[in-house]
Structure 1
Amino acid sequence: MIRMESVALSCRPETGRKSEHIKKPDWLKIKLNTNENYTGLKKLMREKNLHTVCEEARCPNIHECWGERRTATFMILGAVCTRACRFCAVKTGLPNELDTAEPERVADSVELMNLKHVVVTAVARDDLKDGGSAIFAETIRAIRRKNPFTTIEVLPSDMGGDRDNLQRLMDAKPDILNHNIETVRRLTPRIRARATYDRSLELLARAKEMYPVIPTKSSLMVGLGETVEEIIETMDDLRAHDVDIMTIGQYLQPTKKHAKVVKYYSPDEFGELRKIAMEKGFSHCEAGPLVRSSYHADEQVNAAAKEKQRQGDKQLELEQQASS
């Protein structure tokens, strides 16, 4: 049993009064790295007219990923989202027309960067009947054609909860399906626009039903006023819907117009949450102040694959023992 007394005492729900500005702790200081990798990757994105969630969502890890690891998360379907979630810095409004040449440009960039693992996400496109699933699928196929040894992770919106939209995406067979639950059930109506907690769980369950061998993944932000009990409840809900991988990170307020930070979790508290997640049966959990959904995504996939193999070997061993 993991002791959570120290975490629980410091993770109280919102009281309803106007929250005051909380000073960022030292562990959230970011190391800037504007070396040739960083500047070269930024130049490539502009030349190819591509968008990344790294820039649009103001990810705190952009200097590490671009400058040190040379990895990026491509954001397709434009840079304008049809939703206005209270945690997200991506521009909201009426999107432009679809760019049907975008999948090939993404595939070309993956080839130029020589990526072993690529993450493809997108803005929510509620203006499209298919939720953007056709472009998602074509992007996967284009990357496969030009980069057959690159593993592909996709991070779509709920695409309106339409089963056919999800089927269209899954039939392109990404290596991992990632869809974020974002926050606990109680806070979902206030933090997420249009999306619902149960619809996200349903999408994750459907993806696993369609292709059981494709790992599923989801991410949770903390610091919005949730309790530890609600975090654990979310873990249980994800596991009940066969989610394999979980990431847990600190919510950071992108602008004054967005939801305020209620609490900054310490690295030790994230360590405790990770232990609980692993005890719940996730094949891998990445948890930390600066962890985001696609942070060290390549390592997550490899760790999950190893854990799945370990569990399979253990089950085989038990079956052999039972039959002998």
Structure 2
Amino acid sequence: MNDMSPITPSETPREPRARKPDWIRVKAPTSVGFAETRKLMRDKNLATVCEEAACPNIGECWSKKHATVMILGDTCTRACAFCNVKTGMPRMVDPLEPQHVADVAATMGLSHIVVTSVDRDDLPDGGASQFVKVIEAVRRATPDTTIEILTPDFRNKHEAAVEAIIAARPDVYNHNLETVPRLYPTIRPGARYYASLRLLESVKRHDPTIFTKSGVMLGLGEERMEVHQVMDDMRSADIDFLTMGQYLQPTPRHAKVIDFVTPQAFDAYAQIARAKGFLLVASSPLTRSSYHAGDDFAKMKAAREAQLAAKAG
């Protein structure tokens, strides 16, 4: 598949999307906090992955004035089969974007901010310099805010890109593997599984103090042992935090849900992941990369401190 090509509807009729089970249903957002968060993002001309990716938790998070800011515009240069972010030729990078993100962090009084982006294969550094500028702007505006970044894979340029971001010292570096290697050609055709693993491994190699994080979606047809192997691969790359959530088909044009994984199965995966040595595991149907990210960061810090204390003792 050409990475610059948008997903187009098949000429044959699509099957209707699978009906969601009760455990995956959420209420429509209606709160005052939700409206205020939306207005602030509009005023600052910022996109959010909450909206662009049709996150089911947007009502809860925005009501609490938590949002995941998406930098480098709202148009992605790839066309992953699971993702609802629009695909095409992006606009020029906004030089005011870093300050706008910092203004949002300060206005909302965020103790923890999550910053992600679209893929920008059109840029020489994949957009890494914009991540650096955002980190620096947030540090200036609100020094006590901890910063979590969720980056693309910086295909064919990741070593230099990652080094530049690491030098800016985010508190958490997240990059999602998304699915098992077997499904990459159909679900994530523009990416390479082992390149994503190497990216996360290089973060730890350059700065072991930065927390690393990655996530996978379930329900795309993966086998249980394949998920276990992904966990092992993540631990080999010294990834600290694993998130696991249910894939939901955004539109009939996207990859179908093969099955809805039960909450009990998510709990079982979490137990296995903890046994494999992750500092923290978040695993439930509604778990997403930045869901409860601030609370999880505090838990991860506490887990590392306990781990270091145990070694010292």
Shared fold per TM-score greater than 0.5: yes
1:266-305 mapped onto 2 (5 Å cutoff): 266-305=262-301
- Shift of residue 151, structure 1, vs aligned partner: 0.4
Q: What residue number does 1:135 align with? A: 130
Unaligned runs of 5+ in 2: 1-13
Aligned-partner SS, 1:171:
helix
1:137-156 mapped onto 2 (5 Å cutoff): 137-156=132-151
Letter in 2 for 1:72: A
Q: What residue number does 2:28 align with? A: 32
The answer on 1:208 being equivalent to 2:204 is yes
Q: Cα gap change, 1:21/1:59 in structure 2, threshold over 3 Å: closer, same or farther?
A: closer
2:41 to 45, 49, 61: 45
Q: What residue number does 2:101 align with? A: 106
Aligned CA RMSD, in angstroms, stands at 1.2
- Shift of residue 94, structure 1, vs aligned partner: 0.3
Q: Cα gap change, 1:228/1:107 in structure 2, threshold over 3 Å: closer, same or farther?
A: same
- The 2-side partners of 1:46 and 1:298 are apart by 23
Structure 1 range deviating more: 27-36 or 200-209: 27-36
For residues 244-270 of structure 1, what are the alpha-carbon distances to aligned partners after superposition, in whole Å with 9 as ceiling and x for unaligned? 000000000001110000010111111
- Shift of residue 22, structure 1, vs aligned partner: 3.0
For residues 207-266 of structure 1, what are the alpha-carbon distances to aligned partners after superposition, in whole Å with 9 as ceiling and x for unaligned? 111111001000000000001100000000000000000000000000111000001011
- The 2-side partners of 1:84 and 1:296 are apart by 27
Number of residue pairs aligned between Structure 1 and Structure 2: 299
- The 2-side partners of 1:21 and 1:43 are apart by 31
2:251 to 246, 255, 260: 255
Q: What residue number does 1:235 align with? A: 231
- Shift of residue 313, structure 1, vs aligned partner: 1.0
Q: Does the 8 A contact of 1:249 with 1:292 survive in 2?
A: yes
For residues 98-147 of structure 1, what are the alpha-carbon distances to aligned partners after superposition, in whole Å with 9 as ceiling and x for unaligned? 11110001100110000010000000000001000001100000000001
Structure 1 range deviating more: 308-317 or 77-86: 308-317
User: Which runs of at least 4 in structure 1 moved beyond 2 Å after TM superposition?
Assistant: 18-23
- The 1-side partners of 2:15 and 2:207 are apart by 44
Q: What residue number does 1:8 align with? A: none
- Shift of residue 19, structure 1, vs aligned partner: 8.0
Letter in 1 for 2:121: D
Q: Does the 8 A contact of 1:50 with 1:75 survive in 2?
A: yes
- TM-score of the superposition, structure 1-length normalised? 0.90
Q: Cα gap change, 1:24/1:148 in structure 2, threshold over 3 Å: closer, same or farther?
A: same
Aligned-partner SS, 2:181:
coil
Q: What residue number does 2:4 align with? A: none
Q: What residue number does 1:3 align with? A: none
- TM-score of the superposition, structure 2-length normalised? 0.94
Unaligned runs of 5+ in 1: 1-17, 318-324
Structure 1 range deviating more: 171-180 or 294-303: 294-303
Q: Cα gap change, 1:279/1:20 in structure 2, threshold over 3 Å: closer, same or farther?
A: farther
Structure 1 range deviating more: 298-307 or 221-230: 298-307
Aligned-partner SS, 2:155:
helix
For residues 8-42 of structure 1, what are the alpha-carbon distances to aligned partners after superposition, in whole Å with 9 as ceiling and x for unaligned? xxxxxxxxxx9885321001110233211100110
Q: What residue number does 1:9 align with? A: none
1:171 to 150, 167, 170: 167
- The 1-side partners of 2:306 and 2:28 are apart by 38
Q: What residue number does 2:73 align with? A: 78
2:59 to 63, 66, 76: 63
